[in-house]
Amino acid sequence: MQSTPPAISFQNVSKTYRGGQVRALDGVSFDIQPGEFFGLLGPNGAGKTSLISILAGLARASGGSVKVLGHDVIDDYAAARKALGIVPQELVFDPFFSVRETLRIQSGYFGVHNNDAWIDELLSNLGLADKAHANMRQLSGGMKRRVLVAQALVHRPPVIVLDEPTAGVDVELRQTLWQFVARLNREGHTVLLTTHYLEEAEALCHRIAMLKLGKIVALDSTSELLKGTASTMLRFKTDATLPASLAGQSRVTGRIVQITAHDATEVETILATLRSAGVPIEDLEIGRADLEDVFIEIMQGASA
Ligand SMILES: Nc1ncnc2c1ncn2[C@@H]1O[C@H](COP(=O)(O)OP(=O)(O)OP(=O)(O)O)[C@@H](O)[C@H]1O
């Protein structure tokens, strides 16, 4: 019996620019299974856009292979591309078409016709029902972004890729978008999300991969990552400079300091270190670490 292929499979993917001077991806391998809601996180320049561009067939890997539902993105481009619905970061449209025409044209690219019922469902779920006849150039930036999402989904792709879909969008669109994408995921669509909003990733993703300097430095279920090393977080305010021994595990925002700890003993050690360094602290809180804390610890610790 043939087993179902992964929704997305990255095998030893590398990407260099400028004749090998810049190594954007360095042997990236992981699979995303059908039905997963998967998060790809990493700081600026980690290689996320390079990986998504290779997946989308917009850029060529320097080495390795990428498959979508078993279809190689180069050798079997049309089938791989048809299986994907990609919501890009940038807004690029033909301004002269209406919203409905834009969606019909996009369907046509994939050989899908007479799908107005699905187009209506997309428009209504993305809060665009009253904009169906508006020309693209009349829409606000947020509304255009909704059309981008509809455009990516119009051929009902089994695998949905969202590349920082909520960068700069308002709360209402975020909620509309996440409700709809979560519904599609419950109905069986695979979702790959890249985002800098770690709260969103924590709330939505079953599994998360973290990229740093082109290498995977963490890959686990969201709950295991949260249970991981930095499970406790101290938060307090101070005007003083922290002792050097704590600086590496601290996040400082103005007067607010957050320090990760592994257990109660480490919390005591941190407090003793602050006391003996004469650092006065106010409004101390001790809580559970969130994904942002885990991310910072992994990025600081990873020697990729
Ligand atoms: N066309 C290019 N020419 C040269 N270097 C490039 C090119 N595209 C990307 N890079 C470099 O490759 C590395 C990875 O970039 P990439 O855009 O994939 O990262 P990213 O994780 O998407 O970052 P961000 O979060 O800022 O979007 C960076 O060092 C970047 O400067």
Specify the pLDDT at position 5. 95
- The residue whose two tokens read 């005591």 is 268
> Which of 237, 238, 257 shows the shortest CA–CA distance to 247?
257
Taking CA atoms only, the protein residue closest to ligand 1 atom 7 is: 17
Contact 186, 155 (CB under 8 A): no
Which pLDDT score is estimated for 230? 58
Buried b / exposed e along 187-216 (16+ C-beta atoms within 10 A): eebbbbbbbebbebbbebbbbbbbbbbbbb
The predicted structure's pLDDT at residue 261: 84
In a shared domain, residues 115 and 161 = yes
Q: Residue 214 CA: which ligand 1 atom is closest?
A: 14
Q: What is the dihedral of CA 97, 101, 103, 104, to 10 degrees?
A: -140
Residues 6+ apart with CB under 8 A from 210: 41, 42, 216, 217, 218, 219, 295, 298, 299, 302
**Residue 112 and residue 216 in one domain:** yes
What's the rounded Cα separation, in Å, for the pair 125 and 139?
Answer: 17
Q: Report how far ligand 1's centroid is from the alpha carbon of 50 (Å).
A: 6
Last residue of a domain, one of 172, 206, 226: 226
Residue 2: its pLDDT value, please? 62
With the most atoms of ligand 1 within 8 angstroms of its CB, the residue from 18, 41, 50 to mutate is 50
- The CATH number assigned to the domain holding 151 equals 3.40.50.300
pLDDT, mean of each 10-residue run, the chain (304 residues): 86 94 95 97 93 94 97 96 88 82 92 92 93 91 88 95 82 87 95 91 95 95 80 89 86 89 88 94 87 83 56
Residue 142 sits in the same domain as residue 278:
no
Residues 77 and 211 grouped into a single domain: yes
**Which of 183, 203, 226 marks a domain boundary?**
226
Residue whose Cα lies nearest atom 2 of ligand 1: it is 17
The answer to whether residue 20 sits within a structural domain is yes
Whole-number pLDDT of residue 302? 58
Position 168 in a domain: yes
Q: Is residue 214 part of a domain?
A: yes
Nearest to 92 by CA among 77, 102, 107: 102
- Domain-embedded: residue 249: yes
Give the pLDDT confidence score for residue 172 in this predicted structure: 83
- What ipTM was predicted for this assembly? 0.95
Atom 1 (ligand 1): residue with closest C-alpha? 17
Structure tokens that stand for 182 in this block: 């979560």
The closest residue, in CA terms, to atom 3 on ligand 1 is: 17
Coil, strand, or helix at residue 100?
helix
Parallel/antiparallel/unpaired status of strands 250-253 and 256-261 = antiparallel
Residues having CB within 6 Å of any atom of ligand 1: 17-18, 22, 24, 42, 44-50
273 and 166 within one domain: no
Q: Could you give the number of structural domains in the chain?
A: 2
- Answer yes or no: do 28 and 174 share one domain: yes
**The domain containing residue 267 runs over which residues?**
232-288
DSSP states along 170-185 = -HHHHHHHHHHHHHHH
Residue 304 has a pLDDT of 43
**How many angstroms is it from 15 CA to the middle of ligand 1?**
10
Say yes or no: 239 and 191 in one domain. no
